[in-house]
Amino acid sequence: MAQLRQVNLSTKELPDKWYNIIPDLPEPLPMPMGDKQIQNLPKMLLGECLKQEFSQERWIDIPDELQSIYAQAGRPRPLFRALNLEKKLGTPAHMYYKSEFFSPTGSHKVNTALAQCYYAKKEGFERVTTETGAGQWGTALAYGSAMAGLKCTVYWVRSVYNWKADRLDLMKMFGAEVYASPSNKTECGRKLWEKDHNHNGSLGIAISEGLEDSLNDPKAVYTLGSVLNHVLLHQTIIGLETQKQFEVFGEYPDTVIACLGGGSNFGGFAIPFLGDVLTKGKKIHFIAAQTAAAPNLQGEYKYDYADYAEFTPQLKMYTLGHTKDMVPVKGDGLRYHGCSPILSLLRNKGYIDTVAYPTDEKHVFESAKLFVRAEGWLPAPESAYSVTCAIDEALKCKETGEKKVIAFNISGHGFLDIPGYKSILGF
């Protein structure tokens, strides 16, 4: 064969452990704060996930059955060399992208949805509840629950619920019950819904509804799609596969890029490489691609709530403030006020760089179009930020002549987001 453009692993090479970076962090991870909320944690999180959340074990076994479920979801996923894109840009850089877009629901979120549904089933629950904003997490949980034979209830911020019809139908295909939030299904939702049946809702309100629903039903458990340590832990399978694939290519990244909202995608891709930096003396430039609508890594490093309604404990993190208003963008999954505590600590210690792209998203979608015409894969709007950052870095290499190896993650596909592309790019 001509030059190698893609490496996949055999199913047998699928990682059998997740990497927990907590014991390798440069200093202990600050604990959550708030007595009442912390007491509630065992009612809010799955038993196994709560254990993982504070584990000091460096490697945590992926149960055999869950490995098999990951394989059933198409893992391992290929790592691509972007030869066409390099040529089009005229860059001396070598560019590599990981293909989380092969996901059954369209994003990397399935990696933790499958894990949490596996544990929920094992721990005897019959139903999972959650909130969703952009819709990727709700779809992933709807899928995960169908695979595990669980019921699923999703509270979806009404302003998004109202226009993402195809994504809503996909959740229903998986058998999920989906409510526009605020709904009349919970006490906290009903109060708002009775005043205004068309209330736009917010992620904070939807979290409250998901939590209330599960707290009132002993057979149900609430699940989370980002920010927390165990969620990032489950996502490390992305970076662990990528490391093995780079060995086959015979290269190693100088720059690691992923988009960042709450941090599950960036963490999943970057944490195994951050581990190499912390424990093996590797030098890597990490860049989190963000939206100027929610540049949380440029916020303040302090204790703050993860939700609007202050149900959750306070976490030490980079935050814009948990009541911050953020303008809507097509990359809606990046619009979150705070960043995961693990990534926030590493940002604070100088390990993670960040860039935030303007909210008109023109540069982001034009870069994505360039990528589509060169490589053929249509990124989700959120993933388009990662693509943009990689292209910008490759163009810097063109100026300096540096032959950097640039690795970026494409967290999802954009087949359900083509109207978003059209609204920015015309056609």
Least Cβ distance, residue 63 to a second copy (angstroms): 9
Which run of H or of E encompasses 406? strand 405-410
Q: Are 379 and 408 in contact (CB under 8 A)?
A: no
- Pick the stretch among 69-77, 275-283, 301-309, 314-322 that binds a second copy (CB under 8 A): 69-77
Pick between residue 137 and residue 318 the one whose CB is nearest to a second copy.
137
Cβ proximity to a second copy, 29 vs 128, nearer residue: 128
Q: Decide: residue 46, CB within 10 A, 0-12 exposed, 13-18 middle, 19+ buried.
A: buried
- Residue 112 binds a second copy, judged by CB under 8 A: no
Q: 194 or 247, CB closer to a second copy?
A: 247
**Counting contacts by CB under 8 A, is residue 172 touching a second copy?**
yes
Give 361's contacts (C-beta < 8 A, 6+ positions apart).
291, 329, 330, 331, 381, 424
Residue 61 Cβ vs a second copy, minimum distance, rounded to whole Å:
12
Q: What would the DSSP string read from start to end of 153-201?
A: EEEEEHHHHTT-HHHHHHHHHTT-EEEEES-SSSHHHHHHHHH-TT---
Burial of 93 (0-12, 13-18, 19+ CB in 10 A): buried
User: Which of 23, 30, 47, 78: binder of a second copy (CB under 8 A)?
Assistant: 78
Give the whole-angstrom CA distance, residue 320 versus residue 345: 16
Going by C-beta distance under 8 Å and a sequence separation of 6 or more, which residues neighbour residue 261?
Answer: 226, 290, 294, 333, 334, 335, 336, 382
Binding segment (CB under 8 A) for a second copy, from list 9-17, 19-27, 259-267, 379-387: 9-17
Determine, following the binding rule CB under 8 A, whether residue 399 of this chain makes contact with a second copy.
no
From the CB of 144, what's the least distance to a second copy, in Å? 9
Cα 370 from Cα 366, distance rounded (Å): 6
| Stretch of 130-138, 231-239, 286-294, 371-379 lying at the interface with a second copy (CB under 8 A) | 371-379
Do you find a cis peptide bond into 218, omega within 30 degrees of 0? no
Q: Which amino acid is at 97?
A: Y
Burial class (CB in 10 A: 0-12, 13-18, 19+), 372: middle
What x/- string results for residues 82 through 111 when contact with a second copy is judged by CB under 8 A? -xx--------------x--x-xxx-----
For a second copy, which is the closer residue by CB, 74 or 218? 74
What's the gap between Cα 361 and its chain centre? 20
Binding segment for a second copy among 123-131, 185-193, 388-396, 411-419 (CB under 8 A)?
Answer: 411-419
Q: Does 238 bind a second copy (CB under 8 A)?
A: no
Window contacting a second copy (CB under 8 A); options: 21-29, 31-39, 78-86, 399-407: 78-86
**132, β-bridge pairs:** 156
Residue 416 touching a second copy (CB under 8 A)? yes
Residue 60 Cβ vs a second copy, minimum distance, rounded to whole Å: 16
Contacts with a second copy, residue ranges (CB under 8 A): 1-12, 14, 16, 64-65, 67-69, 71-74, 76, 78, 80, 83-84, 99, 102, 104-106, 143, 146-147, 165-166, 169-170, 172-175, 369, 372-378, 413, 415-416, 418-419, 421-422, 425, 427
